[in-house]
Structure 1
Amino acid sequence: MSVIENDSRRRQIIPDWLKPPVSDSPDGTMALVDHLRELRYRVIMSFLAFVVVFIAALIIEMNFRVFYELTTYPLFVAKEAYEARTGQVVLITTEGIMGGFTLSMKMAAIASLILTCPVWIWHLWKFIMPGLLENEKKYSLRFMGTSIPLFLMGVATGYMVMPKGFEVMMTFNPPDTTQINEMNKYLTFELQMLLIFGLSFLLPVVLVTLNLLGVVRGKQLSKMRTVAIFVCFVFAAIATPSTDPFSMLALSVPMAVMYLIAEVICRTRDKRLIASGQLIELDDEVD
């Protein structure tokens, strides 16, 4: 049996929802229906990866409590520091008979979401830029090589600043009060913080991608620099639910720096394209 026949039989066995739509156009363009089918495919593949890792993480958590130690570390560090400084008590609780099981499920979900970031970031990239030309395929590897470390760096930054942030928030308690932290609510809050930091650190990748798509120019980023940095600080103040200055600065300062890095990359690329005649120079383009 030939290779073509084997491939054809394999594609017939695989359900349609497990196969990405293939564009017949040389430039990779698709109809709206095909884009929706591709979105379904990308979401399903990401979800399947999440489920597989989630099951493995849940089994590990139920037997070894590894993720419990990791996810509760910021809270317990803040708790010990607050109690030592004020003498007030902080209680850690679960609610209801199902509280412990729900807690394990949430911890496994957080671990799975972070560990599968290479999968869903890859599918996100493939959906956004399906029509890459052959000489642009190299951008896929560059995208993955920068997106994954940046996302994980953002998650790590959020994780490191949370203990101090939680301690600052505890100081708002009135004297002679006992703070009760319900673990499931704490994990939801922690997940929000980690995702906000992780996704915010993808700012330079988003800007460079928009530049690759021809949506923004480096010169436009330069003009918007002051406004963009101000927006970074406003976004950090709104996006960090803890509202403490440590979390806000830990998010806003890296975002502002990464905006400047993205601006330099985009301006350098624009100059190279202008020099090669592939891009029209703006009237106020700076040399």
Structure 2
Amino acid sequence: MTLVEHVYELRRRLAIALLAVALGTALGFFWYTAYPFGLPSLGQILTEPYCALPPQNRVQLGGGDECRLVAFGVFEQFTLRLKVAATAGVLLSSPVWFAQLWGFITPGLYTKEKRFAYTFVSLAVVLFTAGAVLAYFVVTQALQFLFTIGGDIQTTVLRGSDYFSLLLALLVIFGVSFELPLLIIMLNRVGVVSYDQLKRWRRGLIFGLFVFAAVATPGQDPISMLALGVSLVLLLELAIQVARVHDKRVARRRLEEGWSQNTDWRGLDPDRPSPLDDRLGAPTPAAGPAPRIEPVRPPAADRASDTSSDRWDAT
């Protein structure tokens, strides 16, 4: 395939991916207030953590126990709905645009690389989903802390844009952060980091993860910080143990193949004969008998003057 054909292929797949995102955005815009097939609306699902708060901790608008967010601008509700719909569209259309991306990359991969990529992508999706689900349940406790820190002195009137920005940010940050063990495992498999290095760096990595959790969480509340920090530490320990198993397996395979600790980076053992002659096709010389050493007689003219008998020659 020529370079121009690659460009046309990329353009075609990009157009299909953008069309899928647009259709997903339209579906999310409709689902924002609709209840398809008896399912809750998208807006209801996203506002559930806020509505789970006790009524005394949030402002009641419209009377009764209705749970609503407020907007202070004319176009704020429309832009917020469009923002949520676009985010939902990217997620809903992810199988389509990922399939297009995969179809563009696959022809340049070997069979072994394809199998590894399938595993990597599947684990990445599972970890991202797990992080997003954890953030969804953590945000309720985070709002409970943030809305009650002022006691009876004040009450927070929460704008819809502020709430959804906080919720979406937590979902993305938790989801992306949960990819940490996958990154460590990949670096270990390609030989960048080993189990011994991870074991030595464990304390520093744990400290760095808690610092990252304190800085990355947008709510700046201790609940979301602690939840993200503890989760990342557990995932780090899981990745370290996977690296330990992988390094042991590699070491066992090398021993079975006859490698030694002195094997250099080229895979040659210095204690073994060099295979250079075999690679060049030169025959290996056969072992002959040991040379026989016999004394050499001096010439007759010198025999009278030379009385030494220590002249030897090897034949």
| TM-score between the two structures when normalised by the length of structure 1 | 0.72
SS at match of 1:207: helix
Kept after mapping to 1: 8 A contact 2:181/2:236:
yes
Shift of 1:261: 1.0
Shift of 1:153: 0.8
Choose from 3, 24, 39 the match for 1:53: 24
Cα distance in 2, alignment partners of residues 184 and 280 from structure 1: 62
SS at match of 1:93: coil
Q: After alignment, is 131-140 or 267-276 more displaced?
A: 131-140
Is the alpha carbon distance of 1:13 and 1:243 closer, same or farther for their aligned partners in structure 2, counting shifts above 3 Å?
A: closer
Q: After alignment, is 58-67 or 175-184 more displaced?
A: 58-67
Is the alpha carbon distance of 1:81 and 1:211 closer, same or farther for their aligned partners in structure 2, counting shifts above 3 Å?
A: farther
1:24 maps to none
2:52 maps to 77
Cα distance in 2, alignment partners of residues 176 and 82 from structure 1: 11
Shift of 1:144: 2.3
Q: After alignment, is 11-20 or 171-180 more displaced?
A: 11-20
- Alignment pair present for 1:180 and 2:151: no
The runs of 5 or more residues in structure 1 that have no matched partner are 1-6, 21-40, 85-89
Name the amino acid aligned to 1:74. P
Shift of 1:183: 0.3
- Alignment pair present for 1:221 and 2:198: yes
Is the alpha carbon distance of 1:207 and 1:282 closer, same or farther for their aligned partners in structure 2, counting shifts above 3 Å?
A: farther
SS at match of 2:218: coil
1:33 maps to none
Shift of 1:52: 3.0
Choose from 72, 93, 101 the match for 2:70: 93
- Alignment pair present for 1:152 and 2:139: no
1:17 maps to 10
- Alignment pair present for 1:138 and 2:131: no
SS at match of 2:72: coil
- Alignment pair present for 1:166 and 2:143: yes
> Residues 21-74 of structure 1: CA distance to partner in whole angstroms, max 9, x if unpaired?
xxxxxxxxxxxxxxxxxxxx6xx7765543332222112225447111011111
Cα distance in 1, alignment partners of residues 99 and 250 from structure 2: 27
Is the alpha carbon distance of 1:195 and 1:276 closer, same or farther for their aligned partners in structure 2, counting shifts above 3 Å?
A: same
Cα distance in 2, alignment partners of residues 271 and 59 from structure 1: 53
More relative contact order in 1 or in 2 (CA 8 Å, sep 6+)? Answer: 1
2:173 maps to 196
1:66 maps to 41
Choose from 196, 199, 209 the match for 2:186: 209
> Residues 119-146 of structure 1: CA distance to partner in whole angstroms, max 9, x if unpaired?
6778889999997543343212221221
Is the alpha carbon distance of 1:95 and 1:79 closer, same or farther for their aligned partners in structure 2, counting shifts above 3 Å?
A: farther
1:261 maps to 238
SS at match of 1:15: helix
> Residues 226-250 of structure 1: CA distance to partner in whole angstroms, max 9, x if unpaired?
1111111111111112222221121
The runs of 5 or more residues in structure 2 that have no matched partner are 60-66, 264-315
**Percent identity over paired residues:** 30
2:284 maps to none
SS at match of 2:154: coil
Kept after mapping to 1: 8 A contact 2:10/2:104:
no
Is the alpha carbon distance of 1:117 and 1:226 closer, same or farther for their aligned partners in structure 2, counting shifts above 3 Å?
A: farther
Is the alpha carbon distance of 1:224 and 1:259 closer, same or farther for their aligned partners in structure 2, counting shifts above 3 Å?
A: same
Shift of 1:78: 2.7
Cα distance in 1, alignment partners of residues 118 and 250 from structure 2: 21
Larger radius of gyration: 2
Kept after mapping to 1: 8 A contact 2:9/2:104:
no
Cα distance in 2, alignment partners of residues 151 and 246 from structure 1: 20
1:37 maps to none
Name the amino acid aligned to 2:48. Y
1:4 maps to none
